[in-house]
Structures are given as C-alpha cells and as structure tokens.
Structure 1
Amino acid sequence: MVGRRRFIAQHLALYAGTLLSAALLTACGGGSDTTGGTASVAARSVEKSAAQTDMGRKMDCSIPDETLPVGAANVAPAVVPGIRTWHGSRGTWSLSPTSRIVVEQADAGSLWRVGTRLRADLLEVTGLDLPIVVGPYVHPGDIGLSLKPCPGTTQQIGDEGYTLSASNSIILRANHERGARGKDNGLFYATRTLLQMLMLDGRPAGAHRTVPQGYAIDAPLYPERTFMVDVGRKFADKGFLEAYMKFMAWYKINTLHLVISGDLLDRTPNTQTGIKAAFRLYSHNPNFTQQPLSYDGLYYSKNDWNELEDVAEAYGITIVPEFDTPGHSQAMARAFDPSSTNEGLDTTNPATLRYVERVWDEFLPWFRSQKVHIGGDEAGDTASIQTFQNNLARYLQSRGKTVEMWQDTVSGQSNYDPNLVIQNWSTNGPLPWTTPKFKWINSSGSFYVTPNAGGYEESSGFLGDSFYGTDAGLPFTHPTSDGEVFDWFGNTAFIGATSTYQPAGGQIALWSDMTYHNPYTYEDLAHYVVKDVIPAAGQIWWNGQRRDPAGAVIPYATLRTSVAVLQYGPGVKDVAMFSGSPLSATAPAFSDPPAYVVTPDYPAQAGVLSGLAVPYNCRSCGGGEVGYLGHYGTGDGTLTMTIPVPSAGTYLLPIYYVMGTTVPETALLTINGAVPVTVTFPLTGGGSGGTSSTNNLSGTDQEVIVGTFVTLQAGINTIKFSNPTTGMPNIGGLGTPLLQPSR
C-alpha cells in the first residue's frame, strides 16, 4: 500500500510539473513555433520535460577541465570581438536535430525572449529549428539559458558580460539583477558569441554544427559603445536604422545615437548659410502647438519610433535621441518665433528654455532610453548658454534622465552640472582637469565619417585597421590637419592619462553635412564609407586589441578573416545593402565609391504620363540616377500614378524628384480626385542651376526626397501631380507611404 501511494505521488508530481511547463510556454509566447503552432511546441516541450529527470543533467555550474597543458586544449574561438578569458578543453560540442533550447523556470519570462531570438538565428545559421523548453535539466546537444551567475563570476561579468560553458551541452549565464538598462544584454551577447562560434566551424553556410569545448568569462571594457547617425540633416529610412542596429549588435555595439535636429548649410565658398532646418519627430497631438518642422517634410511618427525601439530592445541597443540646442536648432527657433532667421536659439530670452522643455515633454514618452542628449555643438561659450544648458540638463535629470552634451563649451569651463556626460570631440586629450569632473565619452573628430566632404576626416572611408591599430603599412592616408592622433590605441593621452580618468567608451559618428551639394543615400555611399570600421570598433570597445598567448597584438588582418565569414550576422539576409556589399577579408582601398542611384519603391514604370508631360531619363545627365516619370514645360502637363495601401488613414508620402533650378518649385497634388494641395519642393543643391566653379555644385541633376502628409483610402489610390505654373520639378517616383498614428 505504501509503495502504491509513493508511485501515485511521484506520477502526480510529474504530471503537475508537466502542466506547469505547458502553462509557462503559453504565458511566454509558445506560439512562435514555425513547425506546428502553439499546440505543437507545447506538446514537444512537455514530452521532453517529462523525460528530463531520467536523461538529462542538472544545469549546474560545473565547467570543463581548466588544467590541460598548452597545446592539448582548444584555442580560443576567433570570434569578433574576442573573448576576454578562455579556458580550452578537448573535443567539440555538437548540435543535432534533437537539441533543445532550455530556459530555467525561475526566469522563464525573461529568458523566453532571448531564447526566441536565438531559435530564429540558429535556424538561419544551422538549418535546425530547435524547440524551447522550460526546466532545470539539459541533455547532450542542448543549449541552456540562465540568469543565475555561478559563484565568483557576478563581479567579473558585470552588467553586460556572461559565461559560456561548452561540454556535451552548452550553458550560457548572465546577471539578472544587473542587466544593463533593465535588458538582458549579457545573455543576448552570449548568444551572439555562440552563433559566431558555430559560423566559424568550417562547414557550409546554413549547416554549421560544432563549437570547441571550453569555458569563457567575457565582459566589455567600456559600457558606452556607440554609433551615431545624423538624421537631422539627412533623413534615414527606418529600414536602414533597423538593419544597422542588427549589424551593430552582432559586434556588441550597444548604443545608437540619433541626432534628431539639425541645419543643413550651404557650404558654398565664403558662406555658411543655414538654409534647410529639420526636426525629425512629428507629433499628431493637437494640443502640441509650435511643432518644429523639417524643410523636406520627412519625419518619424510615434508609430515609427516605437518600431525602432522594438528592434533596439530585441538586439540589446539603446537609442539616445539628441535635440541639438541652442545651436543648429533653426527648426525650433522658427517654431518658437516664426519671424526668426537665426540658426540657433536665443538663450537670453527666458521663454526659450520653457519652449525647449515643452518640446522635450512632448517626446520624452516616446523614448525608452534613460539617456538623452541636449547638443551644445558649436554653440559658443557665453554665460547665458552655460545657464541655458545647465537648466535644461537639470530639468531632464528631474525626469529621471541621464543627460549627455557635446564638449565644445566645457573644455575651458568647470561650472557645468557635474552629472552631465560629456562627449569630447575637439580636444586632443581628456577634458582639462587633473581630477575628473565629468564622465566622458571619446567621440573624437578623428572618428567622424562625413560622406562627400573631400579631405575632411574619414569622408572617403573608415578602415577598421586604422581604428584597431595605426595607419602604419596601410595603403591609406588620413587627414592630419587638425593635429589629432587618429587611432584609438595610439593616442594614449586621448584615452586618458590615468586609470581614474578613462572614458566611459567611444563613438563613431556618421554626419550628413554635405548632402546639400552632393546628395547620396545611406544605403549606398554612407554604408560604403562606414561599414568597415563597425567590427573593429566592436572589438576595441569590448576587450581591446586581441593578443596571442605570448601577449603580442594580433593584427587586424587576422581578425578580418573571421569578419569575412561572420559578415553582418543573422536576421539581415534580405537587406540589399548588406548582400550587395559584403565585408572584406582584406582592407578596402575605397577607390570605387558607388554611383548615386535611387530606385523609389513605386518607380517610374508605375506612372502614367498625360497632358504635356514627356518622358525624361536623367541617366543622360551623367549623374547615374534612375529614369524619371516625366518633366514639364508650360501648360497643363500632368502625371498620374496609383499606389495600394492596406488601410485608410493619414500617411506620410515620400516623393522622389529632381530639379536643376536656383529657386524652389511647386506642384499641385491631387489624391483620389479631392481638392488639390500644393507641395513645395526645396532646392536640391545641384543641377543645371550652376557650375562647380561658381557655387561648389556638381553641375548634374540630383534626385532627392520630400515628404507630405496625405489622406489615403484602403486599396488603390490615384495620385496626380500637375504644374500650376511653369516650375514643376521632374517626379522620380513615390516611396512607401508611412501610416501615421491618429494623434
């Protein structure tokens, strides 16, 4: 009788555990299974869980043998960035069709998100679709995920580090309570390392199976590892930003700094006129008046921003928004005072601060980052500016934000709020105090990339070899006119003279200063000049220059062999700019920049010419642009297109166009036969309106983009352009309409 009761109790306990696993799967999103739906995943998971106690081993803290002599142990995997500490064992761990991803029950909710990302990436890398199960046991070939660090490793791995133990199963661990910014970055980075190890196993793409056995303890040198994009002067499509966040995360870069506002200058010789003001966020809140506007009508709505934040969260990225004030802020100056022609804000007017605070208040709920940036770039050094920046910083700090600012006015001043984080870009060394006053980030002007900027900094292309080491022996010359030492490690003073005054990290900056005269797209030229440095920056900021067992620096040329295999990582196989421009195993010469070509989503072939419009092909003008729908003389020439959208609503409609005039042009836009609206097309900065000898322009027509808000109906919409005067530009096509929120 006693034996029977024990038998029943054991089976009831097993049944209860099975139900708990199924319930956790449902709560954690088990419907992500691509082979049979929620029921299939739950059934497989429960079936596996029921057998764990018989076949698996506890997800404990045992590690592979660390005592093997040199030569007998597996060498450190050639991942990028490299692993901080590696203890090699013998043999390999192998993935098989029966392998599983096992998440510990205590943190199943948090672990499920990381497991789901890993599952999708493993499918791409290995061709195997692994089930995710909940439980404490792992089988040979399994991958275990845990947020309970092993004894003695908590401080070593810190906020974003991890341990990886590879024997007959793999256990990945990170700190739960110390996850950076509330994210499980450490565990996510552990999965990136595992995926890279698999990709380097020598097998064909999509069929990787093995990794060397061993034990890794890994954590970054610097918490701030940033790529900055100037979307104020040049609007970046969401697709570009989302693809780059995935690229950054593959090499463990954790911050995307977006400069939301900016003024595009006419840099004709002897003039620095701010002619195109932009502010890239648009609120549909009717109670928010004095909305800063962009010259080209292109914005991110709240829906757009949420989509960017979702991708950032999935890939361990923090998005830091910058509203540059008080300089480079003509859009806000005009919104505050429509009669203003100033490039910057008047900091002597107390109402200016209240207005800027109101702009921040409107958009702060959009931002998930604890960090924001208040600019200060090239703003001058007056008492009123210092007071303005301090007050704005303290206002945002009172709302729980860490505030960053450019260093321009700080270098010679110590009266700024000590809680500011300073991005140091123009001084050849740390901020000038014997004892640290500010936390600072190495954002050296030598790490700037500005496409089409001639000899300025890295405008022609940024070599990973240079950032990793020096320019010695490279077939490439960097500008030296500013006197800054270029590479990260060669400039000891810029890193910090003492260990107590090291930077919090570094930043590569992609500026857009020259798009007025020489337009380009992010997908072609910007990607071409900046892509090579991303893996190198990830390596340097994560654990510095790689060294061999004897302590000698491993050249970046060796790391390149891994980069050529690893490429842009999983999840981006459909990104054309990546597939069409693979990362190189050798240092690029940057001697073949891509031609400027834009192919709109709704291209010329979808248009219907009528009236006096005639076909026009800008390829003949020498600029390499796409064919255009039509150009217009005097009279009533019109151009009609149709576009489909899934639902009715307000959309931001991107319009590609080309013009060679010296004054803005307009067109009437008619949607589905409704009352026409006037669209103003800003100057492109190029074309037949001038020559390079007189106004620094290219002399060829250039295609650019303008946006306007329109109301579209579900299904097919008829879009008609017509010229009310003699000055309508040539229309190249329409971009994908972007649905806007109701408010």
Structure 2
Amino acid sequence: MKKIVLTLLLLCPALVWAQNVKPFVIPELQKWQGGKGEFLMTSSSAITYDNRALKDVAEQFAADVKEMFAVTVVVREGKPKTGDFALALNKKSTGNREAYTINIGRNVSVAANEPMGAYWATRTLLQIMEQSANRAIPCGAVEDYPAYPLRGFMLDVGRKFFTLDYLYDVVKMMSYYKMNTFQVHLNDNGFKEFFEGDWAKTPSGFRLESTTYPGLASKDGHYTKAAFRQFQLDALAYGVTVIPEIDAPAHTLAFSHYDPELGSVEYGADHLDLFNEKSYKFMDGLFKEYLEGENPVFVGDYVHIGTDEYSNRDKAVVEKFRYFTDRYIKYVESFGKKAALWGALTHAQGDTPVKVEDVLMGCWYNGYAEPRTMIELGYDVISVPDGMVYIVPVAGYYYDYLNTKHLYEEWTPAVIGKEVFEEGHPKIRGGMFAVWNDHAGNGITFQDVQHRLFPAIQTLALKMWDGKNVSVPYEEFDAKRLALSEAPDVNILALPKTKGEILNIAKPQPSVTPAIAEIGWDYKVDFDILLTEKPVFGTVLFESPATKLYVADRQDGKLAFERDGYTVRFPYSLPVGRKVHLTIEGTAKETKLVVDGKEVANLDIITPYKKSLERGGMTMKFVRTLIFPLTLSKEFRGEVTNLRVLTQE
C-alpha cells in the first residue's frame, strides 16, 4: 500500500490526505486508495498499449467509449502522453490471471497479468465514467481481482427460444459486469400435464441445426451450426466462454418426438430409454456432429452433457444412468473437450464407476448431489443452489425475481444449499444462476426475462467476484446500481436516460423512428387517432424491431400487439371516421388501455391460464406485457397526432 501511495503522490501532486472515496462499480473494487482530484477524458485523449496482445482490448475500449459517450478516441501502440489511457502487461505474469491495477492521475494507467485483466479494467473505467455527467474518473489507485474463477449464468433456450441477437446482448451484459461463463441449455420440454397429459401435444425444443438428424432442430426457432459456432468465438472476445448443453437422458422429449423409439415407456417420453442401444447410438451421433473435426461446432473447453432428474426407481435403472453418465464424460473427452454435468450421483448411488478427474459438476440440489460428498470424490463443483438462484418466470415456485437482498447479504459460491464451505475452497470453481422457462407457452418474452435477469446479474456478478469482501450496504447498492446501463450498446429494457416526458410529437411521420424506438416499463403513451377508412386486418399502427401494435389484428380486427411470437388483443376496435384519444400504460405486470378517459381493459397476468390437477393443482399463468413501439407504420391509413410518451418519476 505504501507503494500505491507513493505512486499517487507522483501522479496527483495536489494529493492531500482528504482522499477520494471508492468509486461505485459492479463488482465492487477489491482495493482502493483514494487520491485528490479527477481525470477528465478530452478530445485529444488516446488509448495506448505496450503489447500487441492488448490491441483488441484497446480497440474494444475505444468502441465502447464512442458508443456510450459519443467521443472518438485514437488507439495507438506506444508510450502514453498526459491525458491518455495506457494499457500495459506486467513483465511477470504471476498471481490471478484476471487481476489488474489502475492508477489514475495525469494518465489512467492499467496494468494486468494477462489481456483478460486489462479488459476487465476497461469495464471498471466505463462504469465510473457512465455515472458522471462529465465522464470524470477520481484520482486514486485500484487493485482488483476475482475471488472465484468461474462466474456464470445459464439460460434455458430449449423451452423458450431466444434469438442469437439476444444471446449476444446477454454476453455483452455479462461481460460488462465481469461474468465469464454462459451456459446455453439447448434442449428441453414443457410439462405434459398442461397439455392434456399427452406427450405428443407437449412442446419441446432442440435449438441447434443437425445434419446428422435432419428435422431434429425446432421449426419455431433454432441456430445454424455456423452461426452458433461464430457466436461462441465472438463471446470469447468479450471474456465470456459459452458452455453448450445437450441435456440427457432426461428432458429429452425433442429426441423422442424425432424418433419415438428413443423414449422410455416406463419413465416417460421425455426420458431416453437407457435399456435401448438405439439411444446410445443416437447420442453418439449427436455429440459427434458438434465435436469432431479441426473446427468443431462446440468451441470452448467444456461441453455440458446434462444428466439431471432421471428416475432412481430401482437399482437396474440407477446403474444404467451411471453408465450413461460415465460413457458421455469419456465420449466428450475423446474429442479433446472436458465434461460438465448436473450433479445427480447422490440421487443415483450405485456401483458403476463414474469418472471424476477433471469433471465439472453443477451442485444444484443437495438431495441429488451432496456437495461435500462430491468434493470428497474429487469433482470440481459450481455452486448453483436451486432454492437461492433459480428463476422460473411466473411459475409460482422457485423465484420469479431473485431475492437479491438475501443473496447480497448472505450468499457466496461457498454456500451450496444448507452447506457452507470456507471461502476460496479449491474445489469450488465458482457460482452460477439460472433462468428456467418451465412453463412453455406462457406469454413470457425476452424482455420479460431481461427484467428478471438484469438485477440478478448485477447482484450475483458482485458476489461471485468479491465473495465476502463487500463493504457497501445493500440499500445503497440497490439504489446506485440503477445508474448503470445494461451494457454498452445494450438497452433491452428500452429505458430512457431521463424521467418524465420523453417525447412530445405533434404529428409523427410514418417510418421515421423518433429519438427512442420503444419505451420500457413503467410508461404512459397517449395520442389522438383517426381512422379514415376501415383497416385491413393485420394493419400495423406502431412498430419496433421487437414489437408490432396492430390497429386491427389478423383475427378479428381488434387493437392488439404482437411480441416474441405471442399476440395479445384488447377488447376494443377503433371506430372509423371519429377521432379518439388513446392512452396505453405499461408495467412489467400489466398493460392498460384507456379510451377518451375511460378504462377499457387492464391486461394483467392471467391466472390460472392452464391448470394441472396431476401436479397438485399447479397453474400456468399467461403474461400480457408490452414494451411500447414508437415508429408509426407506413401501413397505417389515417391520422395520429399529439403523441406523448411519459415515464414514471
């Protein structure tokens, strides 16, 4: 610390003992020594690097500065001048590979063991600048490093399809908050109890193109092999490793929909028949397709083989399950990869050996995999306790929104269910949380998921990076986090930078996108509208890349909106030849329509939407939220005037 203070005296000559307080960033900085004064980026500031390995980091930093602050910064190799950002690699790469230091004075000097650390340093600087009106960075010295090497998130794309554009945005958001592992759960299925108890009617998804098994990939949305491979490569540039997951031998209805002979008669069509050699031949072919060759579809070190929630009804099936698990650990390894899997070996205790060394296990429920036992066996584990970090949107079990206060104050990756380990346990690689879309077809959109995901990422990114080394009270954290964006070039929640009246346009022009393309919750949009002729069913009124608001929907001519494949209708049709004043108010729970001052509809969450007596009266709810699109469609025939957009103060 004496060395840090001496450095500050050299960099900030005006230093006195009244020091700058630690800047608020997420994750919290591990160490800070405050100086006096501030660094201001100017039009002549540059970003320099002393090693070609840092060129990409410098260029990404410059691109983000331009995106966030509309400032163009030159990038060059060489020594910095006063007012520059300087990126450097330490001469000796020792210690934590993600560690970095920042000294802020006449320059902003970043030093890191590896390029990854330098990249994380630029995330810190962007967050500091984002919270200042003049992009000021307080003078001081930072020493920062993660407590856990694996800081992850899992998204279930099997039950609900998410576009690659959204997955890219998730990567950018994770990266902005220094999370580095994104598990993509590629296949799964709904509960048959919501679909007349009929497996044939129950939706399932496998989201990756397969040429080995043409027709296996879901028609309602999947990724081509080339695009998914490129996505993984691009994610690495943001410091995020993608772990693709093919879940088997349970959660496999998509496979038995493809070939009914693969499904188990005894345990259900969503289980592979482990006593049928055809199941193994099928899985061999599927993994091989994505793992073979010099440039395999699955890019990273790890491939997740699933292995959760199979029956343990009798010894025979337990031994088959253990055989399956061991077989695919070794099969993945035969292609030069490492295997990750869900913990199930307490649930499936038996005699058949299962490989342990260099296998990564997600400990999600202690009844399925007792973490102390798994660690004693030798597994590397990820802390994914379902009772703490599982989001299942509007399902009525687990969490709709995570209890971020409890997690902030009580959880670190050393807490796995009721088991609490010492911080930094060498076999606990880190933590992860998950979004499961169990209730397939419940109206949830990617924006609804994002509303649940964003506060969780901000909170858990901090706890995975800092462990117990957190000094900011939760209430302060929860207030200050709102000043930070989702990520550079990411605003899925469509939130403006200011509150109150956002737009006031006397006469919107067709196909002209206003200052904002859409408005997120909580908002009020009102406007006058006159239909000059009877609209064709399916005529769009307002639109954005994600949403259409119909002046007359395709089915019966009602005012309606469509987003993420779902159409929601208001019980109202616009008159022809008479001007009316419409007000639409939206929150993350409901969408309200007011016509000429009278409330016509309040489209809240329908419950129950579907009911299952077989699952103890479980209900499926249906979500009818709207992030409002603001580009007037050229399809519309009539007049829209006096468009106002307001957000809650």
TM-score by length of 2: 0.71
| 1:527 partner letter | Q
The 5 Å alignment of 1:707-726 reads none
- Per the alignment, in what secondary structure is the counterpart of residue 356 of structure 2? coil
Deviation sequence 1:350-393 (CA, Å, 0-9, x none): 34223212111212312221111000110134111111111111
Which of the numbers 468, 482, 487 marks the counterpart of 1:564? Answer: 482
Aligned to 1:510: 435
The offset of 1:242, in angstroms, is 1.7
What amino acid does structure 2 have at the position aligned with 1:220?
A: P
Q: 1:458 to 1:702 in 2, by over 3 A?
A: closer
CA distance in 2, matches of 1:422, 1:248: 21
Matched, 1:445 2:445: no
Report the 3-state secondary structure (helix = DSSP H, G, I; strand = E; otherwise coil) of the residue aligned with 1:469: helix
> What SS class does the counterpart of residue 190 from structure 2 fall into?
strand
Change (3 A) 1:502 1:96: same
Q: CA deviation at 1:567?
A: 2.4
Does structure 1 conserve the Cα–Cα contact (< 8 Å) formed by 2:366 and 2:417? Answer: no
Letter in 2 for 1:417: K
CA contact (8 A) 1:411 1:432 kept: no
Aligned equivalents of 1:424, 1:402: Cα separation in 2:
17
Partner in structure 2 of residue 345 of structure 1: 272
Q: Which amino acid aligns with 2:191?
A: L
| Aligned CA distance change for structure 1 residues 111 and 290 (closer, same or farther; 3 Å) | same
1:219 aligns with 2:148: no
Q: How does 1:86-105 map to 2 (within 5 A)?
A: 86-104=32-50
| Structure 2 residue identity aligned to 1:566 | L
Q: Distance in 1 between matches of 2:228 and 2:29?
A: 34
Give the CA deviation at 1:331. Answer: 1.9
Residue aligned with 1:141, SS: coil
Is the Cα contact below 8 Å between 1:80 and 1:559 reproduced in 2?
A: no
Native 8 Å contact 2:386 2:398 kept in 1: yes
Contact 2:146–2:464 under 8 Å retained in 1: yes
Cα distance change on mapping 1:191 and 1:499 into 2, 3 Å: closer
Aligned twin of 1:113: 56
1:301 counterpart residue number: 224
Structure 2 CA distance for aligned equivalents of residues 272 and 63 of structure 1: 70
Instruction: Determine the structure 1 residue equivalent to 2:289.
Output: 362
Per-residue deviation at 1:347? 2.1
Alignment correspondent of 1:675: none
- Aligned counterpart for 1:521 among listed residues 418, 421, 445: 445
Letter in 1 for 2:331: Y
Deviation digits for residues 314-335 of structure 1 (CA, Å, limit 9, x no counterpart): 3211111110011111222344
- Comparing 560-569 with 190-199, which one deviates more in the overlay? 560-569
Distance 1:347 1:89, change over 3 A: same
* Aligned residue in 1 for 2:248: 325
8 Å Cα contact 1:495/1:502 also seen in 2: no
Relative distance call for 1:581 and 1:240 in structure 2 (3 A) is farther
TM-score, normalised to structure 1, is 0.63
Q: Which residue of 2 aligns with 1:652?
A: none
Q: Which residue of 466, 470, 478 maps to 2:406?
A: 466
Letter of the structure 2 residue corresponding to residue 507 of structure 1: M
In 2: Cα distance, 1:689 partner to 1:527 partner: 23
Report the counterpart of residue 422 of structure 1 in structure 2.
361
| CA–CA distance in structure 2, aligned partners of residues 216 and 465 of structure 1 | 27
For residues 603-642 of structure 1, what are the structure 2 equivalents within 5 Å? 603=548, 615-617=557-559, 625=568
Tell me if the contact between 2:25 and 2:127 (Cα under 8 Å) persists in the aligned partners: yes
Question: Do residues 139 (structure 1) and 81 (structure 2) align?
Answer: yes
What is the distance in 2 between the residues matched to 1:217 and 1:348? 55
- Unpaired segments ≥5 residues, structure 1: 1-60, 177-183, 471-485, 549-553, 584-590, 631-685, 704-743
Task: Kindly name which structure, 1 or 2, has the bigger radius of gyration based on alpha carbons.
Answer: 1
Between stretches 687-696 and 78-87, larger displacement belongs to 687-696
The alpha carbon displacement at 1:488 in A equals 6.2
Query: How far apart, CA to CA, are the structure 1 residues paired with 2:194 and 2:523?
Result: 23
Given the superposition, is the C-alpha separation of residues 608 and 555 from structure 1 closer, same or farther in structure 2, using an over 3 Å criterion? closer
| Equivalent in the alignment of 1:82 | 28
Residue identity in the other structure for 1:520: I
Partner of 1:392: 328
Query: Is contact 2:252–2:270 with CA below 8 Å preserved after alignment?
Result: yes
Tell whether the 8 Å contact from 1:114 to 1:187 is kept in structure 2 after alignment: yes
Aligned length: 523
What SS does structure 1 have at the residue aligned with 2:557?
strand
Change (3 A) 1:702 1:468: closer
Compared with structure 1, are the counterparts of its residues 290 and 458 closer, same or farther at alpha carbon in structure 2 (3 Å cutoff)? same
Q: Kindly state the Cα deviation for residue 501 of structure 1 after the two structures are TM-superposed.
A: 5.7
For residue 697 of structure 1, report the CA deviation from its aligned partner: 6.7
**Using the alignment, how far apart are the partners of 2:176 and 2:460 within structure 1?**
12
**Structure 1 residues 141, 702: closer, same or farther in 2, change over 3 A?**
closer
Q: 1:493 offset after TM fit, Å? A: 5.2
Equivalence for 2:372: 431
Structure 2 residue corresponding to 1:292, chosen from 209, 216, 223: 216
1:312 aligns with 235
Instruction: Provide the residue aligned with 1:192 in structure 2.
Output: 123
Contact 1:262/1:329, CA 8 A, preserved across alignment: yes
**1:629-677 deviation per Cα after TM superposition (whole angstroms, max 9, x unaligned):** x9xxxxxxxxxxxxxxxxxxxxxxxxxxxxxxxxxxxxxxxxxxxxxxx
State how far apart, in whole Å, the 1-side matches of 2:74 and 2:64 are: 13
Task: Please tell me whether the aligned partners of residues 687 and 697 of structure 1 are also in contact (alpha carbons under 8 angstroms).
Answer: no
SS at match of 2:8: coil
CA–CA distance in structure 1, aligned partners of residues 556 and 423 of structure 2: 68
What is the SS of the residue equivalent to 2:273?
coil
Deviation at residue 303 of structure 1 after TM alignment: 4.0
Question: Deviation at 1:262?
Answer: 0.7
Match of 2:204 among 277, 280, 284: 277
Of residues 409, 412, 416 in structure 1, which corresponds to 2:345?
Answer: 409
Secondary structure, counterpart of 2:373 in structure 1:
coil
The one-letter amino acid of 1:262's match is D
Q: Distance in 2 between matches of 1:369 and 1:546?
A: 30
Q: Distance in 1 between matches of 2:612 and 2:252?
A: 31
Identity %: 23
Q: Contact (CA 8 Å) 2:402, 2:456: kept in 1 or not?
A: yes
State the distance in 1 between where 2:320 and 2:129 align: 57
Relative distance call for 1:386 and 1:697 in structure 2 (3 A) is closer
- Whole-Å separation in 2 of the counterparts to 1:243 and 1:343: 31
Deviation at 1:693, TM superposition (A): 9.0
Tell me the residue number matched to 1:496.
Answer: 421
* 305 and 387 in structure 1: CA distance in 2 versus 1, 3 angstrom threshold: same
User: Counterparts of 1:116 and 1:67 in 2: how far apart (Å)?
Assistant: 25
Separation in 1 of the partners of 2:140 and 2:556?
69
Q: Matches of 1:547 and 1:417 in 2, distance apart?
A: 37
Quote the Cα distance in structure 2 between the aligned partners of 1:347 and 1:530. Answer: 36
1:122 to 41, 50, 65: 65
Identify if the C-alpha distance between structure 1 residues 700 and 325 changes in structure 2 by more than 3 Å, giving closer, same or farther: closer
The answer on whether the counterparts of 2:321 and 2:348 sit within 8 Å (CA) in structure 1 is no
